[in-house]
Structures are given as structure tokens and as C-alpha cells.
Amino acid sequence: MLVMIELELRRVRHDRTEIYTRAVQPILWIVVYGTIMSSIKAIPTNGIPYIDYITPGVLVQSTTMISIFYGLIMVWERESGILKKLYVTPTSRYATIIGRCMASGVRALFQVFIVVPVALLIGVRFILNPLYFILALLVILFASGGFAAISIIAATFMKTRERFMGIGQAIIMPLFFASNALYPVTMMPPIIRYFAAYNPMSYEVDAVRGLMISGDLTNLLLDIVGIAIFDLILFAIASANVRKIIE
Amino acid sequence: MVSAVEIKGLTKVYEDKTRALDGVDLSVETGKIFALLGPNGAGKTTLMRILTTQIKPTAGTAYVYGFDVVRNSAQVRESVGYVPQEMSVWTDITGFENLLIYAKLYDIPSPERSTIMRNALEDMGLTEFKDNLVKTYSGGMVRRLEIACALLIRPKILFLDEPTIGLDPSARKIVWERLTQFRREYGATVFFNTHYMDEADLYSDEIGIINKGKIVKSGSPDALKHSLGGEVIIFTLAGNATYKGIRDEIGKLAFVSDVLINDQELRVIVENAETALPEVMVVLRRGDVSVEKISLNKPNLDDVFLMYAGSKLDLDHGIREIRQVRSMIKRG
């Protein structure tokens, strides 16, 4: 499993373009959308400045974006012979899949180190507790791993890159808007609120917001359990599906 | 001694009812270079994927060094090296890093790792390029890197699916020099798929001809050629008429062992061409067939293939396709 993470880090070392280009969108969300919306003060945020409120949400959205498109690599590796060859190594096929999910999580973490400094520059106040920060990184790592599993599952059904790009957008936008990333769940119409209660992104955002901005950790345990369940289920499905990718 | 590959009645029917393999029986001896020769769609890749435990057969059994590919798939995977037809290395990292990742995947203990990797790079002549990104490699270098990855575990048997497809002749030659050297040094078995007749002829000890999911003939290249008898007379016929009747007439001649017609070429296999030629010409004249050119040849593998598979290999189409795939993949 660790090998897959090492592979990912080595790739990032040789080509950092994706990290930079994918950072543009979250920066725009915070700098442009956040600044404008915070002057309206229409959204109840429990006394937290609006930019500070959405920073964790945008951060989570951008890390999820990386994970959701991770399946593209799988589509590419199937087109090439890499998956076949990996399949013929003695390594457990499940370890390979879970390793790849976590590798995607690691890749996603690079977003944090770009978005957080930008947020700091425009005056977002983070909680300066290294322990909290590390815990937030872990939450993002594991949640991203779960989203990467969704992506890998989608990759087993989508045989071409073009189709996969479409499905990626179709997964990520509903997750983002039906979560507490940009506004509290209580503001939503009941149906969407119901969906948000099962949206793993909500749990992730809540945990990261608590750890980085608000310091409100009342739901932290629930959030972590939620993400753990999400990971377990998706890792199981992705591993079970692995045969299908090859054949 | 246990044979490297032992296959009995192997059949594979895909979900869409395609019968890719239709009762294959085959045995490959340890330490041999075995070529599975056949046109596209004959079932070569399917057979190799079953032998490397990627897919399960519908019926029949297959053993690799005594291990059942279905029941003992884990043991099979530990003793085989495999290079798929498509490009199977990561192009956005260096050659050395590719080897490192595979070495770790194969769980090669770290004290031995660097020696083994150094040897693999040297064996495949890639030492001086090891720190370049694979993107910058030529097709032949990519192939050699893929083989180097497969050699890391010193496999008892190396499976190569169309190892030199899409490579230019000099790159093909280097790949094969390295492969034969590897075989000499480690005494491993090499099992490769190809549709290059000359490659099977030059480098293999044993050839199996596969067509429509069946092994139609196997033997050493020389034995296969001898099995056709003495010599081949090739007539290039003029015009576009069909020569069906002629084929039967010539076949009736006592000294003719076989007659094959392909496009405008009529191939007559005989014991002694010099004495046979005049008599065959008489038959052709009688049938009013005009001949543009005549040549005398020893049978080559093309004739063997034509005889047992009943058709010429359709080369160009497949190669172009693979080239496209490979270059597309390279572009990323």
C-alpha cells in the first residue's frame, strides 16, 4: 500500500502542474466569492466571518476534486497495460486498490498547502494549534481516500476519459452544494437537508471547520465515525469491483 | 521433469459468446523459447492472460510449473514475469523509479534490491538512461524497461505478449539480443506471442501455430518446415480470373503434396521442383492459365502457416492499430 503512495509522490515531484492548476478554483472561491458574499452578511455563521466560514468548505471541495478525478489515472492505466501487469504481481489486489485510494488522498493534501497560505494572506484566522491542524489533515486524507474509491468505482463503468470527465463533474457538484461547505445545513430545503445528512462531505467539512476555524468540536467524534464508515464501505466496493476493471 | 506450461482442453468463451479459445492442448518444455504464432484474434492474448492468472478459463486446465492457474494462482504469480502488449510503465517518472516501484511491489528485500535493479538495468542496456523520464524513451527502450521490470523477480518463465510490435527492425534486434542473453544466463523459459513469422523462425526453439482458438500445429521451426516436404514452386498468375479448378487438377498429380492459392499466388509444394515444374506447367497450359513469374523456394514459415492456418497473416492492420495506441498512450 505504501508503495502506491510513494509512486504518487514521485509523480508529483516530476510534474506539479496539476497541483497548481487545480488550486486556481479554490483560490477564486475564497478570494472572489468569499469576499463578495461576506459583505452581504446574509448567511448565519455563528459570528464567524463568512470567508473564514467557507475556507474549510472550499478546501474540502478542492481536495475532493483531486480524488474524484483520480479514476482518470485508472482509466489511463487500463488503456495502457499497467493494470494488467500490476494484476500479475503477487501483491494483494485489494491492497493495491486501497493503496491507490490513499495515494490519491496524499496527492489531495497538497491542495491544503496552497489554499491555506492564500487564505492566511487575505486574513482568515486559523486556530493555531498544530495538533488540531494535523488531525484536520488526517480527516482530509481519509475522506479523500474514500472519494477516490468512488472515482475508481466509476472508472470501472466508464471506459473512456471523456465520459469519465462528465461523470466526475456530475458527482462532485451535488456533493458540494448539498453540504455545509458554503452555508449551514439548516438553511436548506428539507429534501436537500435530508441528503446532506448522508453526504460524507458534510461530515468532513464539519470536522475540518471545527479543527481549523471555529474550535467547536462537539460533533468531531460523529464526523470521524461517519468518515470511517464511508471509507470502509467504499473500499469494500472498490476492491470487490477490481476484477471488473481488468476484464 | 515438470514442463513449464501444460495445457489440456483449454476453452474460453467470453460473455458476448465469443469463443476465443476452443480446446487448446499445449505443452512447453522448461528452458525453451516458445513462440505462439497466429493472426490477430486467433486467441493468443487470451491464452496468455489465462496463463498469467488474469482471467479464468471456461473449461479445461492449465498448469505453469505444476501450479494450476486457477487454484494456485498466487504461486503462479510468484514465478512468472509478464509484459503485456500495451505500454505498461509509468511515463511520468524515471526508468529507475519504475523499477523501484515494481521491486517494492514484488517485495524484494531492500539489501538485495539495488543489486537486482542494477543488474536488470544492465541486462537491458538501460543503465545510462535510468534517470531520464520514461516519456523521453524510444519505443525499444520502453520495451526493454518493461522487460527489466518483469525480470526483477528472476522469473522461471517470462510471458511476452507481442514483445516487438511496432518497433523498427534494429530496435527489435536489440530486444531479442537481450532476451536471448537473459535466457542463456538464467535458463528461464520464454513464452511469447507474435505474428512476425521471421521472429518466430529466428528466435524460438518451438512454435505453436494458433488459429481460431485452436493450436493447429506445433514443433520446432525446422520440423515445421520439413513437414511440408521438399520445395515450393510459386507461380504469380496473370489477370483476375479464379483458378479453383486448376488447384484440384494440380493436386491430382502424384508428386504434389499440397497446393495453396492466395490472391494471385499459386504455391505448389513438391518433392523435387526441377522435375515437377514442367508437368505442372502442362496442367496450367491446359487450363489456359497465364503465368507471369515462377520462382523456386525452400518452404518457409509463411508456407507452413498458410498450410496449417489456411490463410496468410494479416499483418499491417494490427500493427498500425497498436502503433496508434502506443503513441496515444505516450502522449498521455
List of domains in chain B? 5-220 (3.40.50.300), 229-298 (3.30.70.100)
Question: In this structure, what are the phi and psi dihedrals at residue B300, rounded to the nearest 5 degrees?
Answer: -115, 180
Contacts of B82 in chain A (CB under 8 A): 84-85, 88
Q: Which residue of B has its CA nearest to A4?
A: B101
Select the more confidently predicted residue: B39 or A137.
Answer: A137
> Is the CB of A80 inside 8 Å of chain B's CB atoms?
yes
Query: Is the pLDDT assigned to residue B207 strictly greater than 70?
Result: yes
Taking the complete model, does pTM exceed 0.80, yes or no?
A: yes
Chain B residues whose CB is inside 8 A of the A85 CB are 82-84, 88, 146, 149-150
pLDDT at B155 over 60: yes
The set of cell numbers assigned to A47 is: 459570528
Look at residue B263 and give its three-state secondary structure. Answer: coil
B1: Cβ–Cβ under 8 A, 6 or more apart, which residues?
B30
- pLDDT at res. A245: 67
Q: State whether residue B316 sits within 8 Å of chain A by CB.
A: no
Q: Do residues A54 and A29 touch, judged by C-beta distance below 8 A? A: yes
How do residues B268-286 score in pLDDT, each as one tens digit? 888 778 888 888 888 888 8
Contact yes or no for A79 and B325 at CB 8 A = yes
Pairing status of strand B59-64 against strand B5-13? antiparallel
Which residues of A are less than 8 Å from B89 in CB distance? Answer: 82
Give the β-pairing of B5-13 and B19-28.
antiparallel
- Are the C-beta atoms of residues A102 and A5 closer than 8 Å to each other? yes
Q: What is the pLDDT of residue B324?
A: 57
Whether residues B87 and A80 touch (CB distance < 8 A) is answered with yes
Instruction: Test B93 with A247 for CB contact under 8 angstroms.
Output: no
Candidates B82, B97, B107; nearest CB to A88: B82
Residue contact B101–A246, C-beta within 8 A:
no
- Measured between CB atoms, does B92 come within 8 Å of chain A? yes
Q: How many distinct structural domains can be found in chain A?
A: 1
Contact B104 A14 (CB under 8 A): no
Query: How far off is chain A from B15, nearest CA to CA, in Å?
Result: 10
Q: What is the mean pLDDT of chain B?
A: 84
Q: How far is A103 from chain B (nearest CA, A)?
A: 14
User: Å from A235 to nearest chain B CA?
Assistant: 20
CA-based nearest distance A90→chain B, Å: 5
Q: Does the beta carbon of B83 lie under 8 angstroms from any beta carbon of chain A?
A: yes
Q: Could you give the angle at the alpha carbon of B203 between the alpha carbons of B202 and B204, nearest 5°?
A: 110
Nearest of A16, A145, B107, B34 to residue A137 by alpha carbon: A145
Tens digits of residue pLDDT in B214-239: 888 888 888 888 777 678 888 888 76
Distances (CA, A) of A166 to A72, A137, A170: 11, 28, 6
Is the separation of the CB atoms in B243 and B289 below 8 Å?
A: yes
Interface size, chain A vs chain B, as Cβ–Cβ contacts under 8 Å: 77
Q: Does B186 touch chain A (CB under 8 A)?
A: no
Q: How far is A7 from chain B (nearest CA, A)?
A: 7
Of A11, A87, A88, the CB nearest to B92: A11
B133 vs A: CB within 8 A: yes
User: According to the model, what pLDDT value does residue B300 have?
Assistant: 77
**The predicted structure's pLDDT at residue A41:** 75
Q: What is the pLDDT of residue B36?
A: 93
Q: With contacts defined as CB-CB under 8 Å, which chain A residues touch B88?
A: 80-82, 84-85
Residue A79 sits at the chain B interface (C-beta within 8 Å): yes
Partner residue facing A11 (CB), from B93, B102, B106: B93
pLDDT-derived band at B189, boundaries 50, 70, 90: very high
Q: Which residue of A has its CA nearest to B89?
A: A82
Phi, psi of B16, rounded to the nearest 5 degrees:
-85, 20
Chain A residue closest in CA terms to B74:
A90
3-state SS of chain B?
Answer: CCCCEEEEEEEEECCCCCEEEEEEEEEECCCCEEEEECCCCCCHHHHHHHHCCCCCCCEEEEEECCEECCCCHHHHHHHEEEECCCCCCCCCCEHHHHHHHHHHHCCCCHHHHHHHHHHHHHHCCCHHHCCCEHHHCCHHHHHHHHHHHHHCCCCCEEEEECCCCCCCHHHHHHHHHHHHHHHHHHCCEEEEEECCHHHHHHHCCEEEEEECCEEEEEECHHHHHHCCCCEEEEEEECCCCCCHHHHHHHHHCCCEEEEEEECCEEEEEECCHHHHHHHHHHHHHHCCCCEEEEEEECCCHHHHHHHHHCCCCCHHHHHHHHHHHHHHHHHC
CB contact A89 to B (< 8 Å): yes
Question: What distances in angstroms separate CA B224 from CA A224, B42, B201, B211, B257, one per listed residue?
Answer: 68, 19, 10, 16, 15
Q: Between B108 and A242, whose confidence is greater?
A: B108
Structure confidence at residue B332 (pLDDT): 47
Taking contacts as CB-CB distances below 8 angstroms, the residues of chain B near A86 are 105
Q: Does B102 touch chain A (CB under 8 A)?
A: yes
Residues of chain A positioned with their CB less than 8 A from the CB of B150: 85
First to last CA, chain A: 23
pLDDT of B165 > 60? The answer is yes
Residue B172 pLDDT > 50, yes or no? yes
- Cβ contacts of B92 on chain A, cutoff 8 Å: 11, 14-15
Alpha helices in B52-205 (DSSP H): 73-79, 95-105, 110-123, 139-151, 169-186, 197-203
What does the H/E/C string look like for B198-218? Answer: HHHHHHCCEEEEEECCEEEEE
Look up residue B115 and give its three cell numbers.
543489486
Cβ–Cβ below 8 Å for A91 and B80: no
**Binning pLDDT at 50, 70 and 90, where does residue B241 land?**
low
**Mutation for A interface: B18, B93, B105, most A CBs within 10 A:** B105
Instruction: Report residue B316's pLDDT band, with 50, 70 and 90 as the boundaries.
Output: very low
Per residue of chain A (247 residues), what is the pLDDT tens digit?
778 888 888 888 888 887 888 888 888 888 888 888 888 777 777 778 888 889 999 999 999 999 998 888 888 888 788 888 888 888 887 888 889 899 999 999 999 998 999 999 888 888 888 899 999 999 999 999 999 999 988 888 877 778 888 888 888 888 888 888 888 888 888 888 888 888 999 999 999 999 998 888 888 999 999 999 999 999 999 888 877 766 6
Mutation test of the interface with chain B: which of A9, A84, A97, A243, choosing the one with the most B Cβ atoms within 10 A?
A84
Closest by Cα among A82, A118, A116, A114 to A100: A82
Domain residues for the domain of A142 are 2-246
**pLDDT tens across B68-90, in order?**
999 988 889 888 999 998 888 99
Closest CA relative to residue A54, chosen from A195, A212, A198, A169:
A212
Residue of A nearest to B91 (CA): A11
Quote the pLDDT of residue B82. Answer: 93
